[in-house]
Structure 1
Amino acid sequence: MKTDILLRKAPPDLPSALRQIVDYRKSGLSLNHIVGCPLDCGYCVRHLFANFEMKKPHLVLDDDAAVRELVEHWAFRKDITPIQLLNRATDPFLPGVKDHLIRTLEILDGKGLRNPVLVITRWRVEPDDIQRLERLSNIKLTILVTWSGIDDTRLEPVESSIAEASLHTLRATASRTKAILYWRPLIAGINDTDAHLARARDLSEQASATVFSGLFHREEIRSYLRSVGFEDAYPEVARRKILPRDLEARILTAFGGRPLFRKTSCGIAFAHRSADYNGHFGLKDVCDICPGAQVERCATAHARPTPERVHELARECGLSLDHIGVDDRRIEVKNSTEQQRYFIQHALNYQVHDAVLPHFPRRHGRAEIGWS
């Protein structure tokens, strides 16, 4: 089925960062051949790509060509590399977009690939969509349904009831396709009341797992929120997501031992009964809330790589061999890019950190705001 006619072609003056449709992120090699979104979430990462004003989805490249670019990328590994679809500049279940989403999934599945595939949405997932998704037989598909409970339209104009309905539909009709309650962004003083936490706990029963995370508070996002009259959520901007220590403690108490995960890949691993492809097991304080069965899976798969294997992968991605160390927790490198770190991390199921960007104990890779 040819779907290109459903969307306009992207304009020639599209920012160069958005014309690069494949890039590496922590949760996988990310394919973004559609850009533009009308949902207007004030904290959207599209602010970082100068694309927030493009309200209609546009096609950068057709689905077949986009998949070719993905699987021919130097970092792609069959059955290993996690894949993210349409997570940077649109919502994959928007009208018009979702036909391309499902067609792209069908192309990947038709290649016999068994890679984990992540699709993140806050929009409507309908029974007909799930019927098509359930026909996929190879890829390990996870739908991460974003829910926040935020009712301030400057931050989030989309009703949270839409995500709630999608979760209920997935629970009722999906089997092979796994659903995760993607509880984000949690913002202190905005959507962290006892009622919010109780509602998230109730919704968690509709999903295979729940993953919670905080707010990206970059300068571009803060500037936009100020422009629409929203007072700064936090006193500073930060490179990493912000989720204060006290808020996390309240979340853990509210969930009372129900399956809850700090990291996306951990929730996905639990849903599919596999080991975490990001190798967080080496960081024991990340795993201290995980169900025992999941800890056992990750422990079985956790193997400290040899220096020779790490050096082989480092050469493959162009990373200097001068400053590489390996211990029982992680691989430490220097002067690296995210793409280099995540490539090695996914190839080995083992954490890779840059010495300049350390992960401090019990902060779980988050910004220091609310922890110092």
Structure 2
Amino acid sequence: MCLGSLVLVNCLGRDRWGIAYECVEGQMTAHRNFKQRVRARAAKTGESYTAALRHFRPTPTGEDMPENTQTALRIAVAQSTVREDPTDADGLRASAAEIRRFMKDAADGGARLVHFTEGALCFPSKIVMSELGPDEIGPSDWSKAQWSVLQSELDEIARLSGELGIWTVVPSIHRLPAPTRPHNSLYVVSDQGKVVARYDERTLSYTKINYMYTPGTEPVTFELDGYRFGLALGMDAHFPELFTEYERLDVDAVLTSYETGGDPGKDTVATEVRGYAAANGYWVSLAVSANPSSTHAGVIGPRGAWAAECPPDGKPAVVIADLNREDTISPLARNWRRQTRTRIGS
């Protein structure tokens, strides 16, 4: 697998659920009946057609389309050791080894997905990377990074995802052809060991956008066992409009990776994302660095309370939580909020 050559598309096949449109009467009838069932659910629950659609999945043959009755999904979130030197091959390998250990812990705990912080593999220091350094911050010299080691470790993480049968959401630097600066990215690796999505941080800090990275441009979602996830990275955590955007995209949870570094003021991120969870009625998984002077990692429920928390001592750890649709606000309440936001122009 070559992560550097990844092209991200949300491929939906012939129609959203892979049901063919060929002129075969039986298939067309099945499709019409399916749409009627989706509309019936939407009318009953007050959901939009798109929201109702997500509760249905076709069988492999496409002949029967039963309603998806699964209500719970187990996920894990980690607070990880963060190293700042991508020129240090041994440091990259040590970070990757910790990631793989937490992947195994999450799989042993029955999690279907494990989520890591910004910098879990490496959080490149602006001083280390500066071409004017070490005493002056300037444009980053990315030729110094150990790209081959980073690629090898990412490939091993993907391989282990397939071996364990667990989805892994892990941040890393995404290399672009020189002289374009890389993206600060989140990779989504499926339980088949394949990269199925990539999100690029959009709201870069002053230093990141002027000296280090190329910003992303789009929100990204993916689906797992009937649940839809959005992705947020780095400074995204300080912009509520991005989280409102994901609510409009009908997500069940937003996986937020943020490197706190123990800097003063950065511990407010937990307060911010708890507010986003409550305001939008979905879960937020907050993955942060292992640091005793900053906030800790955990999963926040759709009413803004912690559903699960890593130890507050800041030591490297992983924690597991169950997402359950029975805990969310009603579809009618969610639709009312959307309609109100539209009316007031937010």
* Alignment TM-score, normalising by the size of structure 1: 0.29
Higher strand share: 2
Structure with max Cα Rg: 2
